A and B are shown apart, each in its own frame.
Chain A
Amino acid sequence: MGSQSPVSTDRYEELYEEHILPHFEDPYHKGLLPVATCQHSARNPLCGDQVTLQLLIDDQGRVAQAHFDGNGCAISQAGASILCEQIEGKTVEEIENFTAEQMLGLIGVPLTATRQRCGLLSFKILKTLLYSRDGQDAPPAT
């Protein structure tokens, strides 16, 4: 898990303003697709964050679209938005190599171990999706 070097409060505020708030206030692809290749939901029992992640994967095994929906803290919801933006256009193989460390890097602000569970919620869902997919597609979203 990402080792977090301490940053000053000023720097933290800057990072939050740059990385978190834009995604929280104006999220990327928030709202579910009528049809998706696969989808999965999970919640973080600690704060009740809830995220559903949907992938539309094309014939080349590439993520054509990634959407999410959910509610919860800014870290969990911005994290989902950041993740969707990041994985679109990537192949499943590329996404399989995507690490928690990289995800924490994209979130940008240093997170305590407790808050990492919020920040990595959508990442965890993504990994569950990939490993449970096994070639068979989930039923379309309702």
Chain B
Amino acid sequence: MSTMSGKPSTGTPPAWDMAAIRADFPIFEQVHPRTGRPVVYLDSGASAQKPRQVIDAVSQCYAEYYANAYRGVYYFGDRVDAALERSRESVRALIGAADASEVVFTSGTTMSVNLVARSWGAKFLRPGDEILLNVLEHHANLVPWQIIAGETGARLIYVPLTDDGRLDPERVAQSLTPRTRIMAVTAMSNVLGTIPPLAEIIPLCRQNGTLVFVDGAQLVPHAPIDVQALDADFLAFSGHKLFGPSGVGVLYGKRSLLEAMDPFLGGGHMIDEVFTDRSTWAEIPAKFEAGTLPIAPIVGLGAAVDYVRGLGWENIHRHERELLAATHRALSQIPGLTILGPEQSHKGAIVSFTIDGLHPHDLADWLDRRGVAVRAGHHCTMPLHDHLGIHASTRGSFAFYNTLAEVDALAEALRYALKKHHLG
């Protein structure tokens, strides 16, 4: 067994043992079933692989103590409730929330955005109010705002990106007006890897009386986010990108905001009292947790959070910077290849690129023949690709479990693909 089982980091970071980390992920034990080569997984930005600790926590929940949550007045019910609240506390600690009741479990980032757009937007947006966006955003952080703008008469305003795909605080300041009610902004672009300077952007919004909704889906697996230090009003992220199960996500909201908002979904558990013609709502977070929660996935998410924190953010950061630098170095040697987005100092461990004369889907197919999994297409960011003047791109997205040898494998596979298209 590995030594990496999750204990929250205390003081000095634990030692970085790449072999032990790899051994924690069963999926990497196999050779690639189609190619017989090692599995090179460079699509963690789409969904991350799961360590044994997460898989075990989920199985253990089903095998040892499963029941519904917050309902069973019996032993198993008690254990499930306790496990869920342990996970909630792990998430609270991860994001530095003041209180665990500000952590709402959802089905994922998409549901978290929809929850705020609907529960906050429908109640508080008025015709002519402005929602501030930018084209770095994933469709999940655009479409819900488009829908609620259409229903409320609010307007969508886009902060123009810099030419290299950064979100410049000065341009944010210029885009804020007295009508800007909320800014929805990613903490890290899922395509360019851009990490907007939220510590500069959020105070500008604060001074303007504008709320800030942070899409943390991409950043949370790579770096600590402290919602209180940042003064973020909302933060959303998904379990499955954080090495946890799919089907579970988080919405953090400041207590005063969550309390002022109406429920998103009606149903069991979210009520205080139900009469034949009306109901009253439970306290937060239950008010936003209608129906049976994704119980085992929440348990798994808690294990994932503990696991990642156990590795130490400093270690993760150092390793991922190495991977990013090596990837930029290797890819800049490939003829006809253009890396999209800003310089390394403004981005996380994501590298999207185009190659002259080679369509991303053809490229991804050839890379798959070498056992290298990358994403190809528009990555749920069609407005960003329009902005870049391209239809599609190829993306390698990294996690702490990736190795420098895998960067070499990517470069080798790219040369192979070029040769197959008579380009190299």
Contact = CB atoms under 8 A, between A and B. Distances in A.
Contacts of A72: 359, 361, 391
B269 interface: no
Interface in A1-22: 6, 9, 12-13, 16-17, 21
B420 A73 contact: no
Contacts of A75: 361-362
B365 A21 contact: no
Interface residues of A, number: 19
Given A9-B369, A25-B422, 14 more contacts: A17-B420, A21-B422, A46-B377, A47-B377, A47-B391, A48-B385, A49-B361, A72-B391, A73-B360, A73-B361, A74-B362, A75-B362, A115-B361, A115-B365
B361 A47 contact: yes
30 contacts: A6-B34, A9-B35, A12-B369, A13-B420, A16-B420, A17-B420, A21-B421, A25-B422, A46-B361, A46-B377, A47-B361, A47-B391, A48-B377, A48-B385, A48-B392, A49-B361, A71-B391, A72-B359, A72-B361, A72-B391, A73-B359, A73-B362, A74-B359, A74-B362, A74-B421, A75-B361, A75-B362, A115-B361, A115-B365, A118-B361
A46 B34 CA distance: 23
Nearest to A44: B361
Nearest to A50: B391
A47 B369 contact: no
Q: Counting chain A CB atoms within 10 Å of each CB, which of B360, B362, B376 scores highest? A: B362
Nearest to A16: B420
Interface string B365-379: 100010000001110
Contacts of B420: 13, 16-17
A21 to B, nearest CB: 7
A62 B35 CA distance: 45
A74 B362 CA distance: 6
Interface of A: 6, 9, 12-13, 16-17, 21, 25, 46-49, 71-75, 115, 118
Contacts of B378: 48
A131 B424 CA distance: 43
Contacts of A115: 361, 365
B68 to A, nearest CB: 36
A14 B376 CA distance: 24
Interface in B343-402: 359-362, 365, 369, 376-378, 385, 391-392
A124 B421 CA distance: 26
Q: Counting chain A CB atoms within 10 Å of each CB, which of B360, B365, B376 scores highest? A: B365
Contacts of B421: 21, 74
Contacts of A73: 359-362
A117 to B, nearest CB: 10
A21 B362 CA distance: 11
Nearest to A9: B369
A75 B362 CA distance: 7
A74 B391 CA distance: 14
A48 B365 contact: no
B386 to A, nearest CB: 10
Q: Counting chain B CB atoms within 10 Å of each CB, which of A13, A48, A49, A72 scores highest? A: A48
A47 B365 contact: no
B422 A47 contact: no
A74 B421 CA distance: 10
Contacts of A47: 359-361, 376-377, 391-392
Contacts of B392: 47-48
A47 B376 CA distance: 8
A52 to B, nearest CB: 15
Q: Counting chain B CB atoms within 10 Å of each CB, which of A25, A72, A74 scores highest? A: A74
Nearest to A111: B365
A12 to B, nearest CB: 7
Contacts of A74: 359, 362, 421
Nearest to B378: A48
B415 to A, nearest CB: 14
Nearest to A17: B420
